[in-house]
Amino acid sequence: MPELPDVETLARSLHRRVRGQRIRGVRLLTPSTVRHPEPAPFRRRLQGRRITAVRRRGKYLFFELSGDLTLVVHLRMTGDFSLSAAEAPVHPHTRVILTLETADLRFTDLRRFGHMDLLTPDQRARFPGLRGLGIEPLDPAFTGPRFRIIIGTRRLGVKALLLRQDLIAGIGNLYADEILWQARLHPARATDTLSSQEVAVLHRAIRRVLTRAVRRLSRYRRPVGVFLDARERDGHCPRGHGPLRVARVAGRTTYFCPRCQR
Ligand SMILES: [Zn+2]
């Protein structure tokens, strides 16, 4: 499931490759992928727009378009974009095709949970998924003191905190586990028991893990992280502490090392 580093990498790559191009045609192979507006106005309003930028916010992908419209896409479980020659065979999981000037931009989605909304600035300001999003963890404004304010007097499991999109945007199940291993914190540890030293270590781990993943990720074929690699490889703690434990924490399947995560 795509998380901040995956969506960021995809946004950067699309920005490089499709910025400036005009949308010449719109094909909805699975119309239910589009939530707003109805298929006919969706096609009509997109047609002829120029893509001025592609960005990420939380786990959302934004296509900024001429005429002040934004195409907002959530990839959910299996959504992805690819650029293909117009004559290339259409993959069976293709849901939407935007014909650009030099290629087709195709949205594929095996599980069909991904969705798109074409929004005016007003609609975008009221868009439920975006309005309540928390701070971007890679934004310079996400400082140690700011993180301490976010934790505040909340009593939450520390993994639950990392997954709260209204507090910090973009972290999902996998990178939360990597971050907590890096910070040597047990995922169920209550936030109001963290020392200021532990909060500082956790803040640095969030920044480091996500920055490194964005730098190294070549799309979400494989997550990037020392802990995530070890989990895939042999299920042992990379610090040599033996087998990782798996438990349900914050409603999610969670891996951790019972020896170094306290
Ligand atoms: Zn360990």
Region of 167 on the Ramachandran plot (φ > 0 left; ψ -120 to 50 alpha; else beta): alpha
Q: What is the pLDDT of residue 9?
A: 92
Question: Considering 43, 49, 56, 59, which one is annotated as catalytic?
Answer: 59
Question: Considering 219, 252, 258, 259, which one is annotated as catalytic?
Answer: 252
Helix, strand, or coil (residue 109): strand
Tell how far the Cα of 172 is from the centroid of ligand 1, in angstroms.
21
Structure tokens at 169: 């945007």
Instruction: For the chain, give the mean pLDDT.
Output: 95
**Mean pLDDT, rounded, for 55-68:** 96
Q: Tokens 């090392």, residue?
A: 257
**Mean pLDDT, rounded, for 119-142:** 93
Active site residue 198: no
pLDDT above 70 for 219: no
Tell how far the Cα of 198 is from the centroid of ligand 1, in angstroms.
17
Nearest Cα to Cα of residue 252 among 153, 184, 162, 191: 162
pLDDT in tens, 163-175: 999 999 999 999 9
Question: Considering 3, 8, 136, 178, which one is annotated as catalytic?
Answer: 3
- What single letter denotes the amino acid at residue 23? I
Active site residue 204: no
Residue ranges with CB less than 5 Å from ion ligand 1: 237, 239, 241, 257, 259-260
Q: What is the pLDDT of residue 220?
A: 54
pLDDT in tens, 19-54: 999 999 999 999 999 999 999 999 999 999 999 999
Task: Note the pTM of the prediction, 2 decimals.
Answer: 0.90
Element (H, E) at 14: helix 4-18
Tell how far the Cα of 178 is from the centroid of ligand 1, in angstroms.
12
Active site residue 159: no
Q: Tell how many helices (H) and how many strands (E) occur in the chain.
A: 9, 11
Q: How many CB atoms lie within 10 A of CB 132?
A: 12
**Mean pLDDT, rounded, for 105-122:** 96
Sign of the torsion formed by the C-alpha atoms of 222, 228, 232 and 238: positive
pLDDT above 90 for 177: yes
**Mean pLDDT, rounded, for 176-195:** 97
**Mean pLDDT, rounded, for 93-105:** 97
Q: What is the pLDDT of residue 190?
A: 96
Tell how far the Cα of 27 is from the centroid of ligand 1, in angstroms.
50
Q: Using pLDDT thresholds of 50, 70 and 90, give the confidence band for residue 204.
A: very high
Active site residue 239: no
* Alpha carbons 120 and 156: distance in angstroms, whole number: 36
Tell how far the Cα of 214 is from the centroid of ligand 1, in angstroms.
25
**Mean pLDDT, rounded, for 55-76:** 96
Distance in Å from the first CA to the final CA of the chain: 27
**Mean pLDDT, rounded, for 112-139:** 94
pLDDT above 70 for 133: yes
Tell how far the Cα of 4 is from the centroid of ligand 1, in angstroms.
25
pLDDT above 90 for 128: no
Q: What is the pLDDT of residue 218?
A: 58
